[in-house]
Amino acid sequence: MKPVVCQHIEMQYVQGKKTVHALKDINFEVEPGELFGLIGPDGAGKTSLFRILTTLMLPVSGSAFVKGLDTNRDYRKIRKIVGYMPGRFSLYQDLSVKENLQFFASLFHTKIESNYDQIRDIYEQLKPFEKRRAGKLSGGMKQKLALCCALVHKPEVLFLDEPTTGVDPVSRKEFWQMLKKLQADGISIVVSTPYMDEATMCDRIALIQEGQILKIASPGDISDAYDKQLFAASTEHSFDLLTLLRANPEIHHSFSFGDEVHFSLAGEDRDPGAILLPGLRESGLKDVRIREIKPGIEDVFMDLLEKQTR
Amino acid sequence: MKQANPVITAHELTKRFGQFTAVDQISFEVEKGEIFGFLGANGAGKTTAMRMLCGLSKPTSGTAYVSGFDVYRQQNRIKANIGYMSQKFSLYEDLTVRENIWFYGGIYGVRKKKLREKIEELLTDLNLKGEANTLVKSLPLGWKQKLAFSIAVLHEPGIVFLDEPTGGVDPITRRQFWEMIHKTARRGITCFVTTHYMDEAEYCDRVSIMVDGRIEALDKPGALKSHYEADTMDEVFLILARGAQRADS
């Protein structure tokens, strides 16, 4: 049975005088044991989707199923089998680390010990701070505690809404390693993130923007969605290079990308070196090097964003 | 290293809370018009260091001057001569776009006549003319952040502190934001930036990486990469931050 199924989900809010179309015809299925990523910026609709799937909110239309259970009718059953880590830190700040965990266990009529095997690795890191109040923990530690609390009742499906936002790169990598381990235990996971580099850790990802899913694919296949040749140019003066490329009519689009500038050309099968280098040299950029590259997730996402707004 | 025209000079700047040394003798200089990346793991001491440089917290020892003002004795002069924006707090949600600009302009003592011109200029630059009377809370996050940045440099400060300005923003807007940073720096305003996006570290002129309260590395991104034999700043960061003792205590 599919752990998660979404069919034609629509969501709207009224905000002041405006109606916000938060989700538009969302359709996807998550496979058993899959690590499924929702990748998109703030305001894309990720949290709305999590709230619907965890039965905290009803969609305006469409239906969603978790382990075959209807989010509309069978919400009590669903709540017992899912773990949910909301985007905002949701634990009791005035309770200690251990008290929070005990509290969440008691809500599900269980004890910390009954699913300790699954949380051991994560909880051992929190052990030295067991008596500290949750509100006094650092960002990375809060995240670990929230994950433990979401796992305490041995859920079958885990929903994690931006668990790594605002967390430094080292703690983020550790967090994803924990998720990989949970996945190996057979838990199906739906996780959202605004960091494109984390998308590569997922089995499949859905790119989402303004309430719409732009694309669903495995991280390896996603570059197929990019239908142009992509080039990377590097120089000591990236910002000048970008400014010059932006002003050049031969360029389809260009973005800074770490220490390089990624760009595509208008038209097909053309040699970027022959077209661009003489002009760049004249403008004083003599050290520009250009190579063709395979588009990454962020390239694809920006391309889809541009197509959407055009 | 002696900079030609430093906007920040910190020498053995230290902040202790009881037994705990949050910032441990950091020394560095930041030049006029430089884009300076201030990186570090959660808990490394970045926020504490920034609070001292912004005149919000007195150091325990060491010296620091921001725009020529002493962080011990001239905190209010510092506050008037810097700009500040963060991901968490920037604008008043229940004021309109125009009201926010007006409010901050007033706080920083921009003269009314000048401020009126500035408002029109800013609305045009940001393409927000049609939204001037919209409440800030109904703007998309990316627009808010661009507006907040423009407001933070409205009074032409010598330096602007940007604390994770692009968190959660979509990849296109994130890049537009960095183009704004570059243009601002070219105008001579120093940009002091923190971020968790390591690709953004590459856009800085120089980057410092804090580990356990100390500055472990400080150089141009290219020099750091070759020194640590790494392909990306992400790798450099991991090499340095993995050695941290207190990354998460």
Residues A99, A112 within the same domain: yes
* B154-161: average pLDDT: 96
Q: DSSP letter for A115, please.
A: G
* A121-167 pLDDT tens trace: 889 989 999 999 999 887 788 889 999 999 999 999 999 999 988 78
CB A211 within 8 A of CB A204: no
Residues A264, A245 within the same domain: yes
Question: Considering the domain boundaries, does residue A309 fall inside one?
Answer: no
Contacts of B171 in chain A (CB under 8 A): 41, 196, 255, 298, 301-302, 305
Question: Considering the domain boundaries, does residue A306 fall inside one?
Answer: no
Residues A117, A261 within the same domain: no
Residue type present at position A82:
V
Q: What's the total number of domains in chain A?
A: 2
Task: Look up residue A149 and give its two tokens.
Answer: 């609390």
H helix or E strand, kind and range, residue A304: helix A297-309
Residues A183, A77 within the same domain: yes
**Which domain-ending residue is among A197, A223, A249?**
A223
Per-residue CA distances from B156 to B109, B116, B146 (Å): 11, 15, 16
Phi, psi (rounded to 5 degrees) for A74: -100, 35
pLDDT band at A282 (very low <50, low <70, confident <90, very high): very high
Sheet holding A4-15, edge to edge: A18-30, A4-15, A61-66, A69-70
Domains detected in chain B: 32-48+82-241 (3.40.50.300)
Question: Considering the domain boundaries, does residue A282 fall inside one?
Answer: yes
Query: Is B164 part of the contact surface with chain A (CB cutoff 8 Å)?
Result: yes
Beta carbons within 8 Å of B203's beta carbon, 6+ residues apart: A238, A239, A256, B35, B37, B178, B181, B182
* B52-94 pLDDT tens trace: 999 999 999 999 999 999 999 999 999 999 999 987 767 999 9
Which residue, among B204, B223, B109, B224, has the nearest Cα to B155 in the 3D structure? B109
Query: Where in the sequence is the domain holding A275, given as residue range(s)?
Result: 227-294
Judged on CB neighbours under 10 Å (0-12, 13-18, 19+), B16 is middle
Contacts of A138 in chain B (CB under 8 A): 42-43, 248-249
Question: Considering the domain boundaries, does residue A119 fall inside one?
Answer: yes
Query: Is B169 part of the contact surface with chain A (CB cutoff 8 Å)?
Result: yes
Contacts of A168 in chain B (CB under 8 A): 40-42, 44, 196, 241, 247
CB B66 within 8 A of CB B7: yes
Cα A144 from chain centre? 18
Beta carbons within 8 Å of B125's beta carbon, 6+ residues apart: B150
Residues A237, A169 within the same domain: no
Residues A265, A162 within the same domain: no
Phi, psi (rounded to 5 degrees) for B33: 75, 10
Query: Is B168 part of the contact surface with chain A (CB cutoff 8 Å)?
Result: yes
Residues A12, A149 within the same domain: yes
Q: Looking at this predicted complex, what is its ipTM? A: 0.82
CA B116, CA A135: separation in Å to the nearest integer?
Answer: 44
